[in-house]
């Protein structure tokens, strides 16, 4: 249609139009940017003026000051989002690799405020109290708080660094006060009691009826029916017990982690290889040049059992049995006395004769008398057997030149020698059959045969490099996440336990559990397999049984009933 000159002219005009369009677009964007900048400056000036007015008002009005404080603390921050908001992580696990210890305090403050607001909404509901708007609503409250606390206490119990211990000391009285204020809220308890009093007319199923019973009983036992000075005293007792409980635990952990007995190569003579490996590994972990004995049960118990050096056994045994009573800042004896006195006072405030009556009311035994009767049935035959064993072991010790009755540090050593002499039972020879990896596999195999569960190890963020994680499935469907934290370390409290980062529930919201088994087995050198004693293996299976209960129970978050399968 066009000749060559026409095409060149058209192309030139098109290029010119494109340039003019680009220039116009750039000028328009510049105008928008200037307007946006002007608006931001205007907004900033408005915020400064408003902030100044709020601060001026806060200085003159305590109520306004409290409101401003809440507004500031509720401003969204990245650390708050990481700590308890919706986590974009596998299985909705806490992002331990992204949460720092300094993230917990502000997250806890916001979570506490949210929980308080949820409780206030229940109290202010003008509808007649019923199961849904009172009991179920209470159960549904505190989700943000549960997230913060489950993540924090998972690390604080199993990896208690100095910073985490500091946070525990700060959190304990704050949490005690928060929950004491809830249980002592007369308007809230009036709603709970109203539902309880009409329980026979509500047509509740078995689980709802049980939940109502537990909630009402929990409030009564927490002192909800108290008033005036007695109610205030109950709150003070709870806060003080929380402080004392934290101090007691941390003092015990410090005694366990600080005490160490270095061993020479001569001190290792007569010890089995697995114990030598464990002592060397403990020394390496503590930065020592050689093997050591610590107060970790997985190390000190086999040392008392196998060491032929009586003076070393005595030193170790006396240290182990004196934890919390070394004197100084970590001595727990005064704390224990105060705890006992406060427990007695709390029991009396609630109308019990003593703390044992209060404590056992909800347990299977029911009363102190039932417990005492059971213990006395065991005491006499157990005492007779122990005295007979003492005679045998004392005779064995006499052959080694020990004069007089055996001492506490002798019992394990000579009991082991007796087992080998009378039954040819040598724990050192049995240990290779109890490798940790094999015991974990055996526990999983039992769960598969009994309940059809399958375990697949997964790589996810954890709170410590030693922690391992498995996804649990049945017939291909997700059931739970199982976390195993098996090795002892100086920042982990002693013992073994099962806990949940997230509990199993179908009501008030459906959620799959994240269950944790924590043990304190001796960690071997990297090139060696971890070997368990028979008692260790039994502990592993015991805690795994608790884990299965938590995985396979379905109900409310705080009420677990086993499934039929």
Dihedral over Cα of 385, 391, 392, 397: its sign:
positive
State residue 509's pLDDT score: 77
State residue 89's pLDDT score: 87
Helix (H) or strand (E) holding 154: helix 143-158
State residue 76's pLDDT score: 46
**In whole angstroms, what is the distance from residue 489 CA to residue 299 CA?**
11
State residue 44's pLDDT score: 45
**In whole angstroms, what is the distance from residue 541 CA to residue 89 CA?**
29
Give, in order, the Cα–Cα distances in Å from 442 to each of 183, 407, 450: 44, 38, 12
**In whole angstroms, what is the distance from residue 329 CA to residue 339 CA?**
17
**How many percent of the chain have pLDDT more than 90?**
75
In sequence order, the β-bridge partners of residue 82 are none
What is residue 473's three-state secondary structure?
strand
Dihedral over Cα of 253, 259, 264, 267: its sign:
negative
**In whole angstroms, what is the distance from residue 492 CA to residue 482 CA?**
19
Using 70 as the pLDDT threshold, list the residues of the chain that sit under it: 1-86, 554-565
Length of the chain: 565
State residue 254's pLDDT score: 94
Distance of CA 284 to the CA centre of its chain: 28
Per-residue model confidence as pLDDT tens digits over 511-557: 899 999 999 999 988 888 999 999 999 999 999 999 999 999 866 55
Strands 260-262 and 292-294: antiparallel
User: Is 141 within 8 Å of 114 (Cβ atoms)?
Assistant: no
Look up residue 137 and give its two tokens: 């609503």
Dihedral over Cα of 267, 269, 272, 278: its sign:
positive
User: Is 481 within 8 Å of 93 (Cβ atoms)?
Assistant: yes
Can you give 191-258 as a three-state secondary structure string?
HHHHHHHCHHHCCCCHHHHHHHHHHHHHHHHCCCCCCHHHHHHHHHHHHHHHHHHHHHHHHHHHHHHH
User: Is 368 within 8 Å of 280 (Cβ atoms)?
Assistant: no
Helix (H) or strand (E) holding 333: helix 333-349
**In whole angstroms, what is the distance from residue 529 CA to residue 535 CA?**
17
State residue 525's pLDDT score: 85
**In whole angstroms, what is the distance from residue 305 CA to residue 522 CA?**
15
Catalytic residue annotation: 543
User: Is 461 within 8 Å of 95 (Cβ atoms)?
Assistant: yes
State residue 60's pLDDT score: 59
Distance of CA 233 to the CA centre of its chain: 28
**In whole angstroms, what is the distance from residue 487 CA to residue 158 CA?**
10
Compute φ and ψ for 290, nearest 5 degrees.
-145, -170
Per-residue model confidence as pLDDT tens digits over 321-376: 999 999 999 999 999 999 999 999 999 999 999 999 999 999 999 999 999 999 99
**In whole angstroms, what is the distance from residue 158 CA to residue 518 CA?**
7
**In whole angstroms, what is the distance from residue 376 CA to residue 346 CA?**
28
State residue 442's pLDDT score: 98
Residues with Cβ within 8 Å of residue 290, at least 6 apart in sequence? 262, 263, 264, 265, 280, 283
**In whole angstroms, what is the distance from residue 414 CA to residue 436 CA?**
27
What b/e string do you get for 394-429 counting C-beta neighbours within 10 Å, with b at 16 or more?
bebbeeeebeeebeebbbbbbebbeeeeeeeeebbe
**In whole angstroms, what is the distance from residue 281 CA to residue 524 CA?**
6
């Amino acid at each position: 249609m066009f000749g060559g000159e026409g095409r060149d002219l058209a192309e030139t005009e098109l290029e010119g139009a494109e340039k003019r369009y680009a220039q116009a677009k750039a000028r328009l964007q510049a105008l928008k940017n200037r307007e946006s900048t002007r608006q931001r400056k205007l907004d900033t000036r408005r915020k400064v003026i408003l902030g100044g007015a709020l601060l001026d008002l806060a200085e003159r009005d305590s109520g306004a000051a409290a409101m401003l404080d809440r507004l500031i603390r509720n401003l969204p921050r990245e650390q708050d989002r990481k700590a308890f908001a919706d986590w974009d992580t596998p299985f909705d696990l806490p992002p331990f690799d992204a949460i720092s210890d300094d993230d917990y305090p502000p997250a806890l403050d916001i979570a506490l405020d949210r929980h308080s607001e949820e409780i206030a909404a229940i109290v202010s509901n003008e509808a007649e109290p019923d199961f849904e708007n009172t009991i179920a609503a209470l159960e549904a409250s505190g989700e943000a708080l549960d997230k913060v606390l489950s993540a924090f206490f998972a690390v604080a119990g199993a990896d208690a660094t100095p910073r985490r211990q500091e946070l525990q000391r700060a959190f304990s009285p704050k949490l005690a006060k928060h929950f004491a204020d809830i249980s002592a809220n007369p308007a809230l308890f009036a709603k709970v009691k109203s539902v309880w009093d009409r329980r026979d007319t509500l047509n509740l199923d078995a689980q709802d009826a049980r939940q109502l019973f537990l909630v009402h009983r929990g409030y009564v036992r927490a002192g909800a029916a108290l008033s005036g000075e007695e109610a205030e005293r109950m709150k003070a007792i709870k806060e003080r017990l929380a402080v004392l409980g934290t101090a007691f635990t941390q003092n015990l952990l410090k005694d366990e982690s600080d005490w160490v007995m270095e061993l020479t190569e001569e001190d290792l003579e007569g010890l089995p290889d697995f114990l030598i490996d464990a002592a060397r590994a403990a020394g390496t972990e503590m930065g020592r040049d050689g093997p050591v004995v610590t107060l970790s049960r997985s190390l000190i118990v086999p040392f008392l059992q196998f060491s032929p050096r009586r003076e070393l056994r005595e030193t170790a045994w006396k240290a182990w049995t004196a934890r919390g009573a070394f004197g100084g800042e970590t001595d727990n004896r005064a704390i224990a006395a105060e705890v006992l006195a406060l427990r007695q006072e709390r029991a009396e405030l609630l109308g019990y004769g003593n703390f044992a009556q209060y404590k056992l009311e909800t347990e299977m035994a029911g009363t102190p008398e039932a417990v005492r009767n059971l213990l006395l049935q065991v005491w006499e035959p157990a005492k007779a057997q122990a005295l007979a064993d003492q005679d045998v072991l004392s005779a064995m010790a006499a052959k080694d030149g020990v004069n007089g009755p055996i001492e506490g540090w002798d019992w394990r050593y000579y009991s082991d020698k007796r087992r080998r002499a009378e039954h040819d039972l040598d724990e050192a020879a049995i240990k290779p059959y109890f490798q940790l990896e094999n015991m974990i596999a055996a526990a999983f195999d039992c769960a598969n045969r009994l309940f059809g569960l399958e375990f697949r190890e997964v790589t996810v963020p954890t709170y410590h490099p030693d922690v391992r994680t498995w996804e649990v499935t049945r017939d291909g469907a997700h059931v739970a996440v199982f976390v195993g934290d098996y090795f002892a370390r100086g920042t982990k409290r002693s013992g073994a336990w099962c806990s949940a980062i997230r509990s199993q529930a179908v009501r008030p919201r459906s959620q799959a559990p994240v269950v944790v088994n924590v043990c304190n087995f001796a960690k071997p050198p990297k090139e060696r397999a971890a070997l368990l004693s028979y008692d260790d293996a039994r502990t592993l299976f015991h805690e795994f049984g608790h884990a299965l209960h938590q995985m396979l129970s379905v109900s409310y978050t705080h009420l677990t009933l086993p499934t039929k399968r």
